[in-house]
Amino acid sequence: MRLLALFLSLLLLGSCGLTTTRPKIEMSLAQAAFMAAKEAGADTQSPTLYRKAEVYYLKAKSAYRRKYFNKAEQYATLSKKFSEKAEYEAVRKKALEGNNTP
């Protein structure tokens, strides 16, 4: 009876890791958004938002490597959000600077 209870508890604990899916799409989207922000020059045009995006992207990668997939998904989503904001700010500032020069 004890052996059966031990087996069932191990099975339950082991299956928890199987139900969590890897956030592959979120990680890919975060990476693409971060690279787009970098190419738009957000590191110089919008450094605060760009740094936040970078920090969250690195946290997402670290959490993914450690198999904390829920945290990785949250950080990837935040990284994508800040990357998109940083890219928008960079493009907007470049467009405004382009309009001001005669």
* pLDDT attached to residue 13: 58
* pLDDT attached to residue 1: 74
Planar angle of CA 49, 52, 54, nearest 5 degrees: 110
pLDDT tens digit at each of 102 positions of the chain: 776 666 667 666 555 555 689 999 999 999 999 999 999 999 999 999 999 999 999 999 999 999 999 999 999 999 999 999 999 999 999 999 877 655
Query: Distance between terminal CA atoms of the chain?
Result: 86
User: What residues does each domain of the chain span?
Assistant: 21-100
* pLDDT attached to residue 2: 72
* pLDDT attached to residue 72: 97
Sign for the pseudo-dihedral over CA of 44, 49, 51, 53: negative
